[in-house]
Amino acid sequence: MRAVDIIVRKRDGAELSAEEIEFFIEGYTKGAIPDYQAAAWAMAIYFQGMSDAEATALTLAILHSGQQMNPRALFPPGAKVVDKHSTGGVGDKTTLALAPLVASLGLPVGKLSGRGLGFSGGTIDKLESVAGFHVDIPTEQFERQLREIGLVIGGQTAELAPADGKLYALRDVTGTVPVLPLIASSVMSKKLASGADAIVLDVKVGHGAFMHDLEEATHLARLMVEIGRSAGRQMAAVISAMDQPLGRTVGNALELKEAIDTLHDRGPADFSQLVITLAAEMLRLGGRPGTREELQALARIQLANGRAWEKFRQFIAAQGGDVAMIDDPELLPAAPLVEPALAPGSGYVAELRADQVGLISVALGGGRQKKGDLIDHAVGVVLEAKVGDAVEAGQPLCWIHANDGARLAEARRRLLLSAYRISETPPPAPPLIHKIIE
Q: What is the CATH number of the domain that holds 152?
A: 3.40.1030.10
Q: Residues with Cβ < 8 Å from 280, sequence gap 6 or more?
A: 292, 295, 296, 298, 299
Question: Both 190 and 86 in a single domain?
Answer: yes
| Range of the structural domain that residue 158 is part of | 71-327
Domain at 8, CATH number: 1.20.970.10
The count of domains in the chain is 3
141: three-class secondary structure by DSSP = helix
**Residues 135 and 233 grouped into a single domain:** yes
Q: Specify whether 94 is located in the same domain as 237.
A: yes
Q: Examine residue 300 and state whether it is found in any structural domain, yes or no.
A: yes
DSSP 150-196: SEEEE---SSBSHHHHHHHHHHHTTT-SS-HHHHHHHHHHHHHHTT-
Catalytic site residue from 83, 92, 125, 164: 164
171 is catalytic: yes
Q: 10 Å Cβ neighbour count for 85?
A: 26
Whole-number Å distance between alpha carbons of 242 and 421: 16
From start to end of 45-150, where are the E strands?
A: 82-86, 109-112
Is residue 409 domain-resident? yes
- Is the model's pLDDT at 397 over the cut of 80? yes
212 is catalytic: no
Question: Is the pLDDT reported for residue 280 higher than 70?
Answer: yes
Please pick, among 10, 171, 300, 377, the residue that the annotation labels catalytic: 171
Note the helical H segments in 198-353: 214-230, 252-263, 269-285, 292-304, 307-318, 323-327
Q: How does residue 78 score in pLDDT terms, banded at 50, 70 and 90? A: confident
75: pLDDT confidence band, cut at 50, 70 and 90? confident
* Mean pLDDT, rounded, for 378-405: 97
418 occurs within a structural domain: yes
227 with 359, same domain: the answer is: no
pLDDT at 249: 97
Q: What is the largest CA-CA distance in the chain?
A: 65
Q: Based on the fold, state whether residues 360 and 225 are members of the same structural domain.
A: no
Same domain, 231 and 112: yes
State which amino acid sits at residue 412. Answer: R
- Kindly give the interhelix angle for 94-104 and 307-318, rounded to the nearest 10 degrees: 110
Q: Is 327 helix (H, G, I), strand (E, B) or coil?
A: helix
**Strand (E) or helix (H) holding 23:** helix 18-30
* H or E stretch covering 46: helix 35-48
Whether residue 190 lies in the annotated active site: yes
State yes or no: is 83 an active-site residue. Answer: no
- Which residue has better confidence, 52 or 160? 52
* Banded model confidence at residue 230, pLDDT cuts 50, 70, 90: confident
Catalytic residue among 64, 84, 85, 166: 85
Q: Is 31 left (phi over 0), alpha (psi -120 to 50) or beta?
A: left
Lowest mean pLDDT among 224-233, 389-398, 417-426: 224-233
Q: Is 261 a catalytic site residue?
A: no
Q: What does the pLDDT average to over 180-186?
A: 90
My answer on whether 201 and 267 are in the same domain is yes
Q: Specify the DSSP element, H or E, that contains 354.
A: helix 354-361
Are the beta carbons of 369 and 289 closer than 8 angstroms?
A: no
**Active-site hit among 80, 111, 190, 207:** 190
The pLDDT, as a whole number, for residue 49 is 94
Band of pLDDT at residue 405, cut at 50, 70 and 90: very high
pLDDT at 120 > cutoff 80: no
Distances (CA, A) of 205 to 88, 368, 387: 9, 22, 16
CA distances from 428 to 12, 272, 387, 390, 404 (A): 44, 21, 9, 13, 37
Q: Which listed residue (65, 86, 186, 194) is catalytic?
A: 186
Do 76 and 147 share a domain, yes or no? yes
Are 188 and 274 members of one domain?
yes
Q: 403 and 306 in one domain? A: no
